[in-house]
Amino acid sequence: MGRRRRQKVRRRPQKRIPDVYDCPACGIAAIQIVIHRDKSFASVKCGNCGISVVLEDITPLTEPVDIYGDFIDEYYRTQKAEV
């Protein structure tokens, strides 16, 4: 077989990480994550219900999605503790 021309290569735009995430407390996508890399912490806050958590141990490799995951864990841990 000869050279096969590649069919149109679909360019996928780079997966964009959203700036806002769903809030576990109110269910609205209003979570904002601010990473303070110089101070090694991140703050997570919901613009709707106002819940906020500060997460420490941020490394230069920590992605917002990791922080979001930690925030969710932290949220549910707190919920359990209160019940």
Q: Does 44 bind Zn ion (CB under 5 A)?
A: no
| Total residues binding Zn ion (CB under 5 A) | 6
Measure CA 7 to chain center: 35
Q: Comparing C-alpha atoms, which of 31, 33, 27 is closest to residue 64?
A: 33
Contacts of Zn ion in 11-40 (CB under 5 A): 23, 25-26
Under rule CB under 5 A, residue 58 binds Zn ion: no
What minimum distance in Å lies between the beta carbon of 54 and Zn ion?
16
Q: What is the largest CA-CA distance in the chain?
A: 69
* Residue from 49, 62, 72, 74 in contact with Zn ion (CB under 5 A): 49
